[in-house]
Amino acid sequence: MGVVDTSILFVYLALMVGLGFYAQRRKQDVEDYFVAGRRVGPFTIAALWVAAWIGGAAVVGTSTRVYELGVTGVWYILAQAIGLLLFGLAMARRVKQLGDRHQHLTYPDFIEQHYDSRTRVVATITTVLAYTAYTAGQFAAAAAILQALLGWDYGTSLLLSGAIVILYTALGGYLAVTYTDRVQVALVLLGIVAVGVPVAISQAGSWADMRAVLPASYYDLGAQGWDKIAALVVSMVLSFFVAMDSFSRSFAARDAAAARNGAWFAIVLILPIAVAVAWLGLACAVMYPDHAAAGGILATFVLESFPVGLKGLMVIGILSAIMSVASICVLTASANYTRDIHQRYIQRDIAGTAMLKLGTLASLGAGLLALLMAWNMRDIIDILQLGFTINSAALFLPTIAAVYWNHVPASAAFWSSSTSLATVIGWRIAADAGMGGLFSIDPLWPGLLVSAALLLVLTVFGSRRVAKAVA
């Protein structure tokens, strides 16, 4: 990139760090750090939703899938819109009310309130595993973009992108994330939708022009196979109901209506991004039909086709999507350690100021661990889908029961979630070892089956045992 576009990039990076320092001066206590003081309005909640889900997988990963397979690759983003609709309809208000009543800061707080400390441990383990991997995936995506655009080596690009996110998140916590995410969502819409699509049309033609050039399969929403699509959509949608950041976002809302409406407003922002990313992927397929490295196709398109100035805006739009997701993932992993491990099992009487400092250090630690993992990340969407599967298969049914039905015994929730988690991990290991056959089925389905069976059997058995004891 030239001087103008590189300057736009570094001004954006400096702005993110500046907002982190500003938030550090404004945050007053642990609630400010982890749930923004429980005073966030619906439009900021919407920005937080979009910023948390439209990341490297949504922009870089989806455009790559569309380039390779056609519009069927957009299901990753469509699943997010479905998840937001259902979470807003079924969970957001209730989670906010329960969070305020019991002063929850994290999802495991919620789980322990309804079950026991053993089930809390399972929730903590799944969240730490999932969100460290999510962070690593975003860092890897950001590094790949910087590497392609600036010509730096992967290590330098990874360190820069990771350091910026870790710094502003560790300094300002959730308050910093609310500031940066509002800016970053605006930049995503500007760069990818307002700039990206018009440039794609000017270079590759209209939708009809592209349809005339590309194979018919590129316009088949089911081209990648409905079994794969179902596994992806179900695992992602269920993840909305058990993801810790879904609960943190609801806890941070100023009231129950803001929690619900924020989720629904986010759909209005996500759908144009889905269309824009699909359009960019199709344009790349028209312009570069035989490109050797599909994973870098979006960066190639930006470098070769965008004029000076607009190229910089497109780059910061892509990076905004990636870095906003990384920041909430870092903070989630930090909250898990600070609240769900350290305060719960190591130092129960930790003072608020000490916990605030510990949260900052935990954010640094989580970010550094994710940087180490990012060296080995490859297919972003596949890795994230595994994280979604681990979260949703193990915890979806116990979570729904906690919100709507208070008659599930703690032992049923524990054995249901822990056995399901073990099933998903074991199933994936067997599949990766090439065992085939039954293990070719996506691990989501056996994980959910085990969870449902144990939850039902142990709940019925526990209820009968209680009835006999009363009699």
Count of domains observed in the chain: 1
Q: What is the pLDDT of residues 71-107, one digit of tens each?
A: 999 999 999 999 999 999 988 898 888 878 877 777 8
pLDDT in the model for residue 467: 42
CATH number of the domain that residue 102 is part of: 1.20.1730.10
Q: What is the pLDDT of residues 350-397, one digit of tens each?
A: 877 787 788 778 888 888 888 887 777 555 666 667 777 877 888 888
Residue 439 lies in a domain: no
Average pLDDT over residues 167-191: 74
pLDDT in the model for residue 183: 79
pLDDT in the model for residue 270: 93
Q: Identify which of 118-122, 133-137, 200-204 has the greatest average pLDDT.
A: 200-204
pLDDT in the model for residue 294: 65
Residue 94 lies in a domain: yes
Look over the chain and give the mean of its residue pLDDT values, rounded to a whole number. Answer: 82
407 pLDDT higher than 50 = yes
How far is the C-alpha of 338 from the C-alpha of 441, rounded, in Å?
A: 37
401 pLDDT higher than 60 = yes
Residue 139 lies in a domain: yes
% of the chain exceeding 90 in pLDDT: 24
Higher pLDDT, 463 or 273: 273
Residue 173 belongs to what domain range? 3-381
pLDDT in the model for residue 470: 38
469 pLDDT higher than 50 = no
Q: At CB < 8 A and 24+ separation, what contacts does 364-369 make?
A: 364/166, 364/170, 365/334, 365/337, 366/131, 366/132, 366/135, 366/330, 366/333, 366/334, 366/337, 367/135, 367/162, 367/165, 367/166, 367/169, 367/170, 367/330, 368/166, 369/132, 369/333
CA dist 111 → 60, 398, 400, 413 (Å): 34, 9, 11, 9
pLDDT in the model for residue 428: 86
| 239 band by pLDDT with thresholds 50, 70 and 90 | confident
463 pLDDT higher than 60 = no
Least confident of 4-18, 71-85, 445-459: 4-18
- Start-to-end C-alpha separation, the chain: 78
Least confident of 93-97, 189-193, 375-379, 408-412: 375-379
pLDDT in the model for residue 466: 42
pLDDT in the model for residue 232: 86
Residue 470 lies in a domain: no
pLDDT in the model for residue 471: 42
pLDDT in the model for residue 67: 93
Average pLDDT over residues 144-169: 81
| 229 band by pLDDT with thresholds 50, 70 and 90 | very high
Residue 36 lies in a domain: yes
- The predicted model scores a pTM of 0.74
pLDDT in the model for residue 418: 93
Q: What is the pLDDT of residues 28-74, one digit of tens each?
A: 555 555 555 567 788 888 888 887 788 766 888 889 899 999 999 99
Q: What is the pLDDT of residues 372-384, one digit of tens each?
A: 877 775 556 666 6
Residue 386 lies in a domain: no
Q: Report whether 169 contacts 327 (CB < 8 A).
A: yes
345 pLDDT higher than 50 = yes
Residue 438 lies in a domain: no
% of the chain exceeding 70 in pLDDT: 89
Average pLDDT over residues 170-193: 75
Average pLDDT over residues 148-154: 79
Residue 327 lies in a domain: yes
Task: Find the farthest-apart pair of alpha carbons in the chain and give their distance in angstroms, rounded.
Answer: 81
186 pLDDT higher than 70 = yes
